[in-house]
Structure 1
Amino acid sequence: MTESSPTREQLRLEGFEQIDETLETLIDCLAEALKSLGEDDLLPYLPWSGTVPEDHPPEGTQQLYSIGFQLLNMTEERVAAAIRREREKTLGADSIRGLWPRALKDMRAMGLSPEEIIGVLRDVDVQPVLTAHPTEAKRSSVRERHRALYDELVRSEYPKYTERERRRIRQRMVTALETLWRTGEIHLVRPDLFRELRDAIHYLRDLFPHALNRLDLHFTEAWRDAGFPMDTLRAAENVPRLSFGTWIGGDRDGHPLVTPEVTHETLGMLRKAALQLLHRELVTLGTQLTLSRQLNDVPDELETRIDELTFTLGDEAVSTALHNRFHEEPWRHLAALMAARLERQIEGLPGYPGPAAFGEDLKLLGDTISTTGCTHIDEQYIRPLRQKLDIFGFHLATLDVRQNSEFHDQAIAQLLTAAGVPDGENYGSWPEEERLTLLENELKSPRPFLHDTASAGEQADLVLDAHRVLAAEIEEHGKHGLGALIVSMTRQLSDLLGVFLLAREAGLMEMTPEGPVCPLEVVPLFETMDDLERAPGIMAAYLSHPFVKRRAAPVQQVMLGYSDSNKDCGILAAAWSLHEAQENLTQVATEHGVKLRFFHGRGGTISRGAGPTHWFMAALPHGSLSGGFRMTEQGESIAQKYANLANATYNLELLLAGTAITTAHHRQPAPAEDPAESLVPELSAASQHAYQQLLHAEGFIDFYRQATPIDALENSRIGSRPARRTGTKGHSIADLRAIPWVFSWTQARFYLPGWFGVGSALEEMKTNSPDKFAALKDALPQSTFLSYTLTNVETNLASANLELMRSYAGLVADEALRQRFMDIIVAEFERTRDLLAELFDGDMRSRRPRMAKTLDIREAPLRVLHRQQVQLIAHWRQLVADGQDSEAEALFPKLLLSINAISSGLRTTG
């Protein structure tokens, strides 16, 4: 069925109505909760309940609006899922862009047979990587209350409940909101790493496995509904491949708390959680394996394996109990013995030597139960568990280890100094040729500089001890749980080869007949604009190096940073630099017979690479996606995407199906050249010039530090990681992490990193080359890259607010400084807004009504919160300036709550 415009409009209006109705219900429940708690003075200030007074709101308004926004976000997520369901019923499953039915339909339209589609899917290997950057402002206890409320919201949709049952659901919702109101919402003490890790483990162990059940079902149904043969799909086994990674406990770039001991403990916690996941799934599976030996022939190999496990379990009491309980149900008996073995392993006792041995027992269960004719049990219960074993293994998620190239230089300098190498202490400033000469000579030898008990210095010890933890992990548990050694701020070839030297020193090497090989992949992270430009040359030299070629890996991972590139040169220049880098790196890899797996370090905001997943993939340079795709999931974006089952399934399906269809397209001959591409370099250069001119203008840092709450963010307790790479507070934008840079502009409603410079570039082209501007406008609808980028810019502009910008600018003490920069910023804002409306033939509101709706519904309560925050910042800063430290500290929780409330309303931090 084709989609008609009236049907689309009807569904959109239906969605708007559902948002209003659901939100009204939740706000009514919140009002009831407030009454029962004695908070009657807040009732007139309930958002979306009529005209809300804006003057002198009472204590508690920030918390009220924060919770209100949390309810709105929950409502929008739930309604979006409901409208997708209605759209599928009305227009068909393949009408929803980015999901499996549409992806398979598009691949079939490309002329691919089922076998050829399987060929594409075999190469699809997607890995979201959970990170713990300081952007998640909510405590885990708050998220637990959200889940309880969301569950009741889902139950309330069932149409056949009686009035009594509906009253019970409503009362449970009121109770959940009462509890939420009394639950501390923000971190008053900075969370430690293991708290962040436990939060990530919750998603990995407790939520993603359930989402995978639905995800697998969606894919299987889409394949079957497309008319493709199921035996072809099942013969391919686990395709496409999905797995998970994490940086928590391994990312030590600017994070001094990530010690070698933390990494060791992290690996142990992930391993234990993986075993808990498999144990839980196996116990659930056992309830389905109730086939009786009286009604079925029991294969000899099943009986033999039951005897073997009974003997090796080593606990006669447990073995006897399981025999007495399950002897008449042999398949269940075997599953129970397997679960008992896993349980011992969780407690630190001997168990399965590895995931392969556990997988053999699962395969035996499936193969033998199929001989009874009960193939559906294997298909619906055993196969999904084998798939989870493939995804999570005994490690849950692969742990990357990241460190800054400068830190590595310090470690190598200390090693060289301890080994008596002349001028070794200055290794970091050696010319590249001199560094490479040393590395080339040293990498020919397996001998370390120092004995493994010797200390060369603080940085060297930290790097080497971390590598020794990884070597011990490989020795004891294999490489399954280990990801890559990532080098942030990779600027030259020696930054990568130096990692091999450090790995050799720590014993993180495997000997082959050709020489030593590092068992873990070394991955560059290209971040700044200059580094992205140098990246192809660096990778050409790296892939040609004998030490790298010896590893003979068919795929090389390259990480791209979306944060520092934007902070460095602005959104348009950064996007274009990333686009060009991927094109050029892909060409280099092709010349070396290697496929690249790009690791996209996307943040939670558009300024740091975020945007709709399927549109992001569609805008990738042709040929750059070979099937492997990694992407960071940071901070609050993890909860936004994956906090509930429906949303988690939807976002994972977008990732997998999007990667599959994009990989298929990238294998086709290159399409016609992007008609706007020849115009982008000029726009990019002009926008970069305007952006950097602002950042480097005299007095800009003073304006920025006063007009945004950056000082409050630097003092916040949101995440375990410092806001600055060096951990010191100062006036350097270069040292400031991209996350608080974006977070601070967002809180003050400037959204400046997401649009500044674009208007100047467009105006320059329109003024100096009107024919080019006209060509740009004509080409824009056919340009996936520029359409995606400029639509994201437009979203940032729509989220910004001139009135509120001026309010925050009022915090700047020097009136002349304030006026000078506000004149520049406001002029650029209006210029960009007007020129984008001209390019797109209409403003955002007329073309994107859903976006307009979500912005409008938030604006009135946000305005109240912003005005409060401006007053709080001014008061807090005055207390700090007057040396009233205890009073400032007492006020600070209110400021943090204000930041959290505005983050909830904007649905973003940094």
Structure 2
Amino acid sequence: MLHEEKKEKFRQLVENKFQIYNSLFMSLPYDKMSNIGMLLPFLYEESKVGYQAGKSPEEIVEEFFSKHTELTTEEQKTELLFKIIQYIERQVVLYDSIEDAAFPQLHSESDAGTVLQVHERALQEHQLEATRNKLKDFAIKVVFTAHPTQFYPNSVQRILHDLRTAITDDSITEIDMLLQQLGKTPFLNKEKPSPLDEALSIIFYLRYVYYDTIGELYKKVKNTFGTPTFTPAQDIIQMGFWPGGDRDGNPFVTAEITQQVAQELHLSILKSYYAHLKKLRRRLSFRGVSKILDGLSDDLYEAIFKEDQDISSEEILIKVKEAEKILIEQHNGLFKNLLEDFKDRVKIFGTHFATLDIRQDSRIHQEVIDEIIAKNSDLNIETITDQEKLDWLLKTDVVLDPNNFQGITKDTLQNIYNVKGIQEKNGERGMHRYIISNSEATKDVLNVFALFKLCGYPEAEINIDIVPLFETMEGLDLAENVMKDLYELPVYKKHLERRKGAQTIMLGFSDGTKDGGYLKANWEIYETKEQLTSISDRYQIKVIFFDGRGGPPARGGGKTHDFYASQGKTIANHQIELTVQGQTITSVFGNKDQAKYNFEQLLTAGIENDVFKNAKKDLNGSERKLLEELAEISYQKYSDLKAHPRFVPYLQEMSTLEYYGKTNIGSRPTKRGAGGELKFEDLRAIPFVGSWSQLKQNVPGFFGFGFALHELKNQGRFDEVKSLYKGSDFFKTLVLNSMMSMNKSYFPLTSYMKKNQRFGEFWTILSDEYNLSKEMMLELTGFQELMEEEPLSQLSVKIREKIVLPLLSIQQYALIKIQKEEGNREAYEKLVMRSLFGNINASRNSA
């Protein structure tokens, strides 16, 4: 489909439908709401015209009140603003549903990156055999995390789900009823969700979206590439799970919570099998077959509802194979494909559904280890070296009882004791990774290995992959030496042999970008992957990279297929693993059509990378040198910004940073460590990136990039950069992702800040770099406007930004009132928090 055709189709299926259904809002029975639909366009118009004329949000909102309402008291005005926010929140839900419903019509099976398109290409280029070989050594794993960037409570999620179906069917009556329900359904959690609540929220998607989606996609891959002698492995598409296992900075994730979540995942997959089997039995009603399947159904029921009963995936498969044998021998194999589909699902999901990972910060482990050594040895913990600690840990035969400790030490040990039980019930695939954030030394990995020994695990029974997460600039620099030391260490070498010679290494895009800026972080991670590939190959270790990516480009997100398809042969490509959080779960993997399409895009990116030759994937010496130079210049510029004395105070006082922690959206605190002055390194990546996004400044997605391009232009070397853009898919992807960040920026919203005595100069630095980056990138790409190559995303962003503009005006208005200490502070703080929700939900297409 050409760009103009695509745009036209989008207008018909999305924009026009939104106008029609949006009119239904006018008559909705919102609690205490009337005439909002009439007033909202006025606030939008005042905002649009006002910002163009250089007015402040305060002037815009006050003019809106005086011109279009007769409200006089502060209380009346804030009440109206709350109602407007509620109204816009629901408009966003409606728009999401309409866009989701249009997805299948805007994307086709022959799009770039689909399984059929890759098969067609492999056929034409005589690469079918090479593609099948790649499928033998490849898998994708999407790891769902509970980071707080999704603000819809479960009740709203379900309305969204139903609304999408009603819109697909064009059922006006049904849509009207659902919009009425939406009008009366609260959008806020009364209390912070617990880690178990977060887990259940994502398990909803596992059961009602991914069970079918992944099963169907596997069937598609099998039918497309399978032969009588080759069947793709069922684990080619995997799911990982962090809620309830990720305790990094989250004091509410305990050993008990981890066990509960593992149990919920176990029960949920058994329930999915039970429901699937119910449908299957309606077709396989034949003598002999039905008896076995009825018995299996009873076994599953018992395992779900009786505590003393359980069932393993092996036991399920034995019964299915018995039924299959009778079906073939006595009933002509009728409906064999349905039984085979069920069998494949059992092989895909086991009794675990998704792999529950454990994650903790290396510094916490060190505290735990120090307490253990102090209590159980004669060593003086104050004076001994790290090496002496390790020597004791690896030689001691002490086995600890968690009950002899308190607090985090007790919980850490108890959690490790529980791993064995979880593996017995959910299978080893159910829990086999321990991730260590902030890894910077070999001791960070060995501490975890030692903790398992201290909990009584013989070395041969530590069935766990120990995964270092390198996320700071320093950590990335040290990664190669850390892994070299580990690969050479006899005790760890043996551990890796038992783990089939594979080592998973996680790299943190979010924290990397926060630490080093957009261009530097991406280049640093690229180079680190190359170094780790090289060192792993040297020691004959199969290295698997796991990327801590978020939704927006500033957190390492962006166009994921393009990113992975652009990594050349210098980077190991056995598996694509990445984290997916919050709004990205609902926007990219939120329903069957989208999830299938986006899982497919990931799968084919990895295949394309190895199978199809493309000079644009591999960087030559001069391209590397140029990328290095650009990364260093941009890093210097970003570092200067970070070092600016107003950097953290600006976020604290002028953005919504402080309000993230007050919203009941996630179980995890917004900064590591408690109390004290806010330091840059304690800031979590999500509230950090989110605060820039709320300001419509998106600094981590572009800052320093334009400056670096401009520096080379000044040196008369811009043609070199243009050649790099044309010749390197990797660099091109970085540029396009950065443009997406800029397209969601809107500096006129905050231009009033340039008059602020304290922050005026700092705001100008940000604004100038934005203008320079935009100018340089348009010149580099030859585009007339940002995101020109992506008409659908561009249109979607445009409409969403339009919906959300009045919300931004309200948020800034409330922040100004708080800064001036005018009026009812509590009411204005609530306005800021409520507008947070709508803004983030509206920016869902940032993935």
TM-score (norm. length: structure 1)? 0.85
- In structure 2, distance between residues paired with 1:260 and 1:200: 20
Q: Deviations over 1:703-738 (max 9, x none)?
A: 222221111112221101100111437421110101
Give the corresponding residue for 1:346: 304
Give the corresponding residue for 2:415: 466
Alignment of 1:747-786 (within 5 A): 747-767=694-714, 769-771=715-717, 773-786=718-731
Give the corresponding residue for 1:865: 807
How far off is 1:104 after superposition? 2.0
Give the corresponding residue for 1:43: 37
Matched, 1:254 2:211: no
- Which of 103, 106, 114 is 2:121 aligned to? 106
Residue aligned with 1:632, SS:
strand
Matched, 1:498 2:447: yes
Give the corresponding residue for 1:423: 380
- In structure 2, distance between residues paired with 1:352 and 1:339: 13
Say which one has the larger Rg: 1
Alignment of 1:813-892 (within 5 A): 815-845=756-786, 846-876=788-818, 888-889=825-826, 892=829
- In structure 2, distance between residues paired with 1:173 and 1:679: 54
Unpaired stretches in structure 1, ≥5 consecutive residues: 86-92, 157-168, 224-228, 292-328
Give the corresponding residue for 2:55: none
- In structure 1, distance between residues paired with 2:44 and 2:751: 27
RMSD over aligned Cα, in angstroms? Answer: 2.7
Matched, 1:148 2:90: no
Give the corresponding residue for 2:75: none
Unpaired stretches in structure 2, ≥5 consecutive residues: 48-60, 69-79
Matched, 1:21 2:16: yes
Residue aligned with 1:485, SS:
strand
Q: Given the superposition, is the C-alpha separation of residues 566 and 461 from structure 1 closer, same or farther in structure 2, using an over 3 Å criterion?
A: same
Alignment of 1:72-471 (within 5 A): 72-85=95-108, 93-94=109-110, 96-114=111-129, 116-156=130-170, 169-220=171-222, 222-223=224-225, 230-232=227-229, 235-236=230-231, 238-239=233-234, 241-291=236-286, 329-351=287-309, 353-372=311-330, 374-375=332-333, 377-379=335-337, 381-425=338-382, 434-445=385-396, 447-448=397-398, 451-452=400-401, 455-471=404-420
The one-letter code of the counterpart of 1:44 is M
- In structure 2, distance between residues paired with 1:350 and 1:371: 36
Alpha carbons 1:245, 1:483 under 8 Å: kept = no
Q: Deviations over 1:371-390 (max 9, x none)?
A: 245435121x1111111111
- In structure 1, distance between residues paired with 2:833 and 2:846: 13
Alpha carbons 2:702, 2:738 under 8 Å: kept = yes
Residue aligned with 2:468, SS:
strand
How far off is 1:503 after superposition? 1.1
Q: Given the superposition, is the C-alpha separation of residues 504 and 621 from structure 1 closer, same or farther in structure 2, using an over 3 Å criterion?
A: same
How far off is 1:672 after superposition? 6.7
Q: Given the superposition, is the C-alpha separation of residues 175 and 892 from structure 1 closer, same or farther in structure 2, using an over 3 Å criterion?
A: farther
Residue aligned with 2:335, SS:
helix
Alignment of 1:891-910 (within 5 A): 892-907=829-844
- In structure 2, distance between residues paired with 1:573 and 1:249: 32
- In structure 2, distance between residues paired with 1:50 and 1:463: 52
Give the corresponding residue for 1:806: 751
Relative to structure 2, which stretch is displaced further, 575-584 or 389-398? 389-398
Alpha carbons 1:798, 1:844 under 8 Å: kept = no
Residue aligned with 2:758, SS:
helix
Q: Given the superposition, is the C-alpha separation of residues 685 and 903 from structure 1 closer, same or farther in structure 2, using an over 3 Å criterion?
A: same
- In structure 1, distance between residues paired with 2:364 and 2:614: 40
The one-letter code of the counterpart of 1:788 is T
How far off is 1:240 after superposition? 6.2
Percent identity at matched positions?
Answer: 23
Q: Given the superposition, is the C-alpha separation of residues 219 and 146 from structure 1 closer, same or farther in structure 2, using an over 3 Å criterion?
A: same
Q: Given the superposition, is the C-alpha separation of residues 520 and 665 from structure 1 closer, same or farther in structure 2, using an over 3 Å criterion?
A: farther
Give the corresponding residue for 2:51: none
Matched, 1:522 2:466: yes
- In structure 2, distance between residues paired with 1:474 and 1:629: 24
Residue aligned with 1:631, SS:
strand
Alpha carbons 1:128, 1:243 under 8 Å: kept = yes
How far off is 1:414 after superposition? 0.3
Alpha carbons 1:527, 1:564 under 8 Å: kept = yes
Residue aligned with 1:498, SS:
helix
How far off is 1:78 after superposition? 2.8
Matched, 1:744 2:691: yes
Relative to structure 2, which stretch is displaced further, 352-361 or 405-414? 352-361
Alpha carbons 1:270, 1:395 under 8 Å: kept = yes
Alpha carbons 2:508, 2:547 under 8 Å: kept = yes
- In structure 2, distance between residues paired with 1:274 and 1:390: 12
- In structure 1, distance between residues paired with 2:619 and 2:525: 21
Q: Given the superposition, is the C-alpha separation of residues 466 and 332 from structure 1 closer, same or farther in structure 2, using an over 3 Å criterion?
A: same
Alpha carbons 1:604, 1:636 under 8 Å: kept = yes
- In structure 1, distance between residues paired with 2:24 and 2:150: 26
Alpha carbons 1:46, 1:52 under 8 Å: kept = no
Residue aligned with 1:487, SS:
strand
Alpha carbons 1:675, 1:783 under 8 Å: kept = no
Alpha carbons 1:31, 1:46 under 8 Å: kept = no
Q: Given the superposition, is the C-alpha separation of residues 868 and 131 from structure 1 closer, same or farther in structure 2, using an over 3 Å criterion?
A: same
Q: Given the superposition, is the C-alpha separation of residues 437 and 792 from structure 1 closer, same or farther in structure 2, using an over 3 Å criterion?
A: same
- Which of 624, 633, 637 is 2:580 aligned to? 633
Q: Given the superposition, is the C-alpha separation of residues 221 and 519 from structure 1 closer, same or farther in structure 2, using an over 3 Å criterion?
A: closer
- In structure 1, distance between residues paired with 2:363 and 2:4: 55
How far off is 1:621 after superposition? 4.0
Give the corresponding residue for 1:622: 569
How far off is 1:365 after superposition? 1.6
Relative to structure 2, which stretch is displaced further, 383-392 or 736-745? 383-392
Alpha carbons 1:562, 1:574 under 8 Å: kept = yes
Give the corresponding residue for 1:797: 742
- In structure 2, distance between residues paired with 1:549 and 1:497: 12
The one-letter code of the counterpart of 1:782 is G
Matched, 1:649 2:596: yes
Give the corresponding residue for 2:72: none
Q: Deviations over 1:536-573 (max 9, x none)?
A: 11111112221222131222100010111111110000
Alignment of 1:62-77 (within 5 A): 62-77=85-100
- In structure 1, distance between residues paired with 2:128 and 2:42: 53
How far off is 1:139 after superposition? 0.7
- In structure 2, distance between residues paired with 1:669 and 1:849: 24
Q: Deviations over 1:252-293 (max 9, x none)?
A: 1111111111112121121111211111111111111023xx
Q: Given the superposition, is the C-alpha separation of residues 332 and 407 from structure 1 closer, same or farther in structure 2, using an over 3 Å criterion?
A: same
Give the corresponding residue for 1:534: 478
Q: Deviations over 1:740-768 (max 9, x none)?
A: 0000010110101111111111122221x
Q: Given the superposition, is the C-alpha separation of residues 656 and 351 from structure 1 closer, same or farther in structure 2, using an over 3 Å criterion?
A: farther
Q: Given the superposition, is the C-alpha separation of residues 578 and 786 from structure 1 closer, same or farther in structure 2, using an over 3 Å criterion?
A: same
Q: Given the superposition, is the C-alpha separation of residues 475 and 857 from structure 1 closer, same or farther in structure 2, using an over 3 Å criterion?
A: closer
How far off is 1:207 after superposition? 1.7
Matched, 1:712 2:659: yes
Q: Given the superposition, is the C-alpha separation of residues 833 and 50 from structure 1 closer, same or farther in structure 2, using an over 3 Å criterion?
A: closer
How far off is 1:904 after superposition? 2.7
How far off is 1:105 after superposition? 2.8
- In structure 1, distance between residues paired with 2:572 and 2:42: 45
